[in-house]
């Protein structure tokens, strides 16, 4: 099993370029099958989840290749087909193909998607939206079968709760439906905005982009295009928080600052200096980290759940107590036990709340990642700890970070992978 070895205690210094966004690239790649054309997707991150998505696109008849400046997807011969179970089970974002295939081919059959074990993530909102557009679904032996019958029709859909995946899937199906779809309660995350902008570049008509009310005029012919994926706000946030935890100063090149307001605000509350520059985001850790009384994860533009584990680790170095409330996923606190073994003063209050008290000095140990963001948090803990930390379960980290060891070495960390 691959493992990451970290010799901690080094302040991160220097600059690192932020990769393309995982959560933006995956739905855009899924959407290429709606175009029946050639697409060049720039700044696509070379991560495990993207490779799995490309495997799924190939299984559907797309011709896919990595070019010097992006991923080339020729979807002119895309058609429903048996998709590899390993790729579907490997990531939840394979679910985006439900909406795209329903819109393009009117039918779909796929295994229940996989991904990280971070709590219950039902697909009821996805299926309810598809049914509103005229599709019928059934599940047999873990396989989802969908059929659009005589075709999808525009509808008024009100999401009862915010869901990025359900919003993206509804948009992917609605651009192929006849008539107008009005989607209220839509997720406002930047990744939804990116998908809508890509589809509009291909010829779709979507109004209200960036708001919780989207109006999609369906049935328009979509063509292939060139499109650039924005930088990954979660990767940028990870390195920002790691800088605070180690007491460093870094420049996060190409960081999507406008989409990081909650994280930057949190860092400033802890005493950091954050300054937007033409090249990206400059971060200077304070001499003494101050704890926040409370940190609550929220839907965008609130503090992202994907950075909660990393923030929790950094809080062990801050003076005072902090109550961390997780409102998105109920299984985000698996980091607590390994963090306690490293010397962290953390305790679970209930399924949605944990308390962190600092400052403490962490000690290196051997541990294992069980999900993507928790794995990044363990790496951050290793950077802050005295001695050597070994993080196993690197496959999870590979799902979202191109090369976390390379990036952190550019900032001076003593880290390698074996």
CA 239, CA 251: separation in Å to the nearest integer? 10
* Strand-strand pairing, 38-42 and 226-228: parallel
| Closest CA relative to residue 187, chosen from 161, 157, 216, 163 | 163
Beta strands (DSSP E) in 224-377 are: 226-228, 249-253, 273-277, 280-284, 294-296, 320-325, 345-350, 353-358, 366-368
**Adjacency order of strands within the sheet including 226-228:** 63-67, 70-74, 38-42, 226-228
| CB-based burial label for 147 (10 Å; 0-12, 13-18, 19+) | middle
Tokens (6 digits) for 189: 């995350």
CA 124, CA 126: separation in Å to the nearest integer? 5
CA 61, CA 294: separation in Å to the nearest integer? 50
Tokens (6 digits) for 237: 């946030």
- Neighbouring-strand partners of residue 355: 323, 347
CA 175, CA 26: separation in Å to the nearest integer? 18
Q: Are 119 and 96 in contact (CB under 8 A)?
A: no
* Strand-strand pairing, 320-325 and 353-358: antiparallel
Tokens (6 digits) for 96: 């985006």
**Adjacency order of strands within the sheet including 249-253:** 13-17, 249-253, 280-284, 273-277
CA 188, CA 196: separation in Å to the nearest integer? 11
| Closest CA relative to residue 18, chosen from 372, 280, 311, 283 | 280
| Closest CA relative to residue 91, chosen from 39, 150, 124, 51 | 51
Please tell me whether residue 258 adopts helix, strand or coil conformation: helix
CA 301, CA 298: separation in Å to the nearest integer? 8
**Residues with Cβ < 8 Å from 254, sequence gap 6 or more?**
17, 18, 231, 279, 280
The residues carrying an active-site annotation are 116
């Amino acid at each position: 099993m691959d493992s990451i070895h970290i010799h901690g205690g080094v302040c991160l210094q220097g600059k690192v370029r932020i990769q393309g966004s995982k959560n933006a690239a995956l739905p855009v790649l899924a959407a290429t099958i709606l175009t029946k054309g050639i697409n060049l997707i720039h700044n696509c991150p070379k991560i495990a989840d993207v490779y799995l998505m490309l495997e799924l696109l190939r299984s559907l008849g797309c011709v896919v290749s990595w070019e010097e400046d992006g991923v080339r997807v020729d979807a002119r011969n895309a058609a429903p087909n048996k998709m590899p179970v390993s790729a579907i089970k490997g990531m939840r974002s394979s679910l985006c193909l439900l909406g795209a295939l329903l819109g393009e081919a009117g039918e779909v059959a796929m295994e229940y998607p996989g991904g990280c074990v971070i709590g219950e993530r039902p697909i009821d909102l996805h299926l309810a939206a598809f049914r509103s557009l005229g599709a019928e679904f059934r599940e047999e032996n873990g396989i989802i079968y969908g059929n659009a019958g005589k075709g999808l029709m525009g509808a008024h859909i009100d999401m009862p709760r915010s869901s990025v995946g359900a919003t993206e899937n509804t948009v992917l199906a609605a651009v192929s439906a006849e008539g107008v779809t009005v989607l209220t309660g839509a997720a406002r995350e930047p990744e939804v905005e990116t998908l809508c902008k890509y589809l509009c570049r291909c010829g779709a008509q979507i109004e209200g982009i960036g708001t919780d009310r989207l109006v999609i005029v369906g049935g328009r012919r979509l063509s292939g295009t060139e499109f650039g994926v924005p930088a990954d706000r979660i990767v940028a946030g990870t390195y920002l928080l790691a800088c605070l935890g180690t007491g460093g100063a870094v420049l996060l090149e190409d960081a999507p600052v406008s989409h990081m307001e909650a994280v930057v605000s949190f860092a400033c509350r802890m005493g950091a200096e954050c300054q937007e520059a033409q090249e990206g985001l400059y971060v200077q850790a304070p001499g003494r980290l101050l704890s926040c009384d409370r940190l609550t994860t929220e839907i965008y533009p609130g503090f992202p759940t994907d950075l909660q584990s990393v923030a929790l680790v950094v809080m062990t170095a801050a003076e005072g107590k902090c109550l961390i409330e997780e409102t998105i996923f109920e299984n985000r606190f698996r980091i607590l036990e390994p963090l306690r073994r490293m010397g962290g003063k953390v305790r679970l209050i209930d399924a949605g709340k944990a308390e962190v008290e600092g400052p403490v000095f962490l000690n290196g140990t051997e541990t294992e990642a069980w999900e993507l963001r928790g794995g990044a948090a363990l790496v951050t803990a290793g950077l802050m700890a005295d001695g050597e930390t070994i993080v196993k379960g690197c496959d999870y980290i590979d799902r979202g970070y191109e090369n976390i060891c390379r990036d952190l070495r550019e900032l001076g960390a003593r880290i390698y992978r074996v």
